[in-house]
Amino acid sequence: MEPFGTTTFPLFEPPRSWRTETTGPQKLAPGRTYSLTFKVYEGGGVQYTGDLYFTAKDLTSLSPGQVWADDRAMSRDDFDDLVDDSC
């Protein structure tokens, strides 16, 4: 499988070309769980779908260079390995 590339998703400021749906206040509140669902389309259909759940505490616990995936903090290299194993 060829890599799709890397996309950074800044909370509350998605790229204009993305179709987004927002509800509620556009800030993270303590004690709440948030979700991000994404789909990658290629060849006329959905190639990959992902669901991410996180809290404000999860994100503030990240060290520089870490990402939140699979319900835990990890390095970008570990994330790449996780994606490779999932595909």
Per-residue pLDDT at 5? 61
pLDDT at site 30: 92
Q: What is the pTM of this model?
A: 0.67
What integer pLDDT is reported at residue 57 of this predicted model? 95
pLDDT in tens, 2-54: 445 666 667 777 777 877 887 788 888 999 999 888 777 877 877 778 888 99
* 3-class DSSP string for the chain: CCCCCCCCCCCCCCCCCCCCCCCCCCCCCCCCEEEEEEEEEECCEEEEEEEEEEEHHHHHCCCCCEEEECCEEEEHHHHHHHHHHHC
Specify the higher pLDDT residue, 7 or 1: 7
pLDDT recorded at residue 86: 64
Q: How confident is the model at residue 1 (pLDDT cuts 50, 70, 90)?
A: very low
